[in-house]
Structure 1
């Protein structure tokens, strides 16, 4: 707790990596309970120990290393002001808008240090909260806060898959609006956009097992995005046809083939 932010970030990442492999959720919970109990001594050497511990607890909850109810359960058991301060700090962080996403950067260190599976989770949460709130500006800010431009293809991938699974015109409209905005602002580059869509194309045989209408929804969404003007020719050309692993040929000028006889 008395080290610099980058070391705290590495510690949070280590806890995440150890969870499920070497330590259990119960082990992590007990360790934090001991730290809460020892806060009166810890603040003597680290005056902001309560705040730092609150950050660690909130981050552990966001990383699924602790259950969300951990904070409330501890609040009912502790009788130390420092411990209550730490738990209040954790509660505040977890309760704020887009809290789970923002906690990825709780130490002020770029998200590039985070494991891929956790970055993926943050992007999924970001998209879910965007669909719920419709707040385009906040979703954009949360993506920028992750500080992983090299991984923006994952956001595109998750957005398209989420759209396919929703089978909803409203979701298609919102996701197209988000991707178009991020592309126009050059937050998501054309190559990241292309890579995200092509990854979805590769996974379509598996996706359609869970979503029988997957190809139909994908066609409709790609057409909507094409009209939005932010897809490359490569994305249009390689869009897989419904129910088959056939691709649109270059000679079709980027138009989707008719499926009257498919």
Structure 2
């Protein structure tokens, strides 16, 4: 009487409950619930580029950089490709391309190395790249006869920019057999040993300011202003500003100068910057348009500046009034002066009402 299928056809007693508590996992089961399964996420993994693919991938990125000077764009583009353990090739290819180009492109390459350091490149990548370039000099001099001197400049500038330590140069001294590599190391050592060598290496490529990336110019302007606050030498500050050769960018100089006195909050800084701007305005080195544009840029940034400097509006008003008293900023700049809660008359187009400024 075991039934049509014989003994055990219906399974062991209780087997019909197996899998109910844990959930049915057979997709072919009519009671299978796909929502009960864990969600799996799949991410695309970009395989590392082969060595013979790296130059093809990097050259267009670097060539475009020589046109637009945007180091952020280079970093983002490089982050989209997988160089694996070949990050040093960024430096090798960039320097090799720059050797065949103008001094302005070499300057841009030094800036790029500095900007990529810590974000894309690390000290060991930069050192490894220079190692390869030093060993490649016998081939590089065939296309660039002064390649040893150029590479020496790049190495010294990388030391000055804190991308590699001075010991990198010392490690090679006296142990290099290749004549071209020895010349490059000796040249870098001479540059680094000069009086104020690290500062002078900022202009190792001897290019004019108009060819330099914006970030580099801002860094130079900030350095110039800090040095001026230390020395108080208007003549030297004026000479350094003119050497940058960026009259179209003097609004940035004014902007940085005003922000500096706001952050410093000292009378001495205010007096010195006021005297410097007055001198530059009187000699027409900084034009009225550039002066006004610099102040207006500060006005626009005041909500952000005041987050870090609560007395920013007070310092700005005090400085602007001082500059007006010295006679080198016009009344229309003061009329646009922002402030917290100070009542002022709006333009005639608003009917001359009095309203509160809200910033």
Q: Normalising by structure 1, what TM-score? A: 0.77
Asked whether 1:77 is paired with 2:171, we answer: yes
Residue deviations 1:231-254 (CA, integer Å, cap 9, x gap) = 12221211112x337657579xxx
Residue 95 of structure 1 is aligned with which of 172, 175, 196?
196
Residue 53 of structure 1 aligns to a residue whose secondary structure is helix
Residue 302 of structure 2 is aligned with which of 204, 209, 212?
204
Q: Aligned Cα RMSD in Å?
A: 3.1
Kept after mapping to 1: 8 A contact 2:149/2:184: no
> Partner of 2:341 in structure 1?
244
Residue 231 of structure 1 aligns to a residue whose secondary structure is coil
CA change 1:89–1:59 in 2 (3 A) is same
CA distance in 1, matches of 2:292, 2:325: 16
CA distance in 1, matches of 2:107, 2:162: 15
For residue 162 of structure 1, report the CA deviation from its aligned partner. Answer: 0.7
Residue deviations 1:20-76 (CA, integer Å, cap 9, x gap) = 6654443223222433455577668766444423322344455x4715xx2x21233
Kept after mapping to 1: 8 A contact 2:149/2:183: no
For residue 88 of structure 1, report the CA deviation from its aligned partner. Answer: 2.1
For residue 164 of structure 1, report the CA deviation from its aligned partner. Answer: 0.4
> Partner of 2:107 in structure 1?
9
CA change 1:113–1:206 in 2 (3 A) is same
Kept after mapping to 2: 8 A contact 1:240/1:248: no
> Partner of 1:227 in structure 2?
325
CA distance in 2, matches of 1:227, 1:74: 54
Residue deviations 1:147-174 (CA, integer Å, cap 9, x gap) = 2111111111111101100010001111
Bigger helix share: 1
> Partner of 2:44 in structure 1?
none
CA distance in 1, matches of 2:190, 2:141: 15
For residue 203 of structure 1, report the CA deviation from its aligned partner. Answer: 1.0
Residue 139 of structure 1 is aligned with which of 228, 237, 240?
237
CA distance in 2, matches of 1:58, 1:235: 45
Query: Of the two, which has the highest radius of gyration?
Result: 2
CA change 1:114–1:29 in 2 (3 A) is farther
Kept after mapping to 1: 8 A contact 2:156/2:189: no
CA distance in 1, matches of 2:198, 2:230: 12
Q: Normalising by structure 2, what TM-score? A: 0.58
User: How many equivalent pairs are there?
Assistant: 243
Asked whether 1:173 is paired with 2:274, we answer: no
CA distance in 2, matches of 1:16, 1:125: 16
Quick check: 195-204 or 25-34, which moved more? 25-34
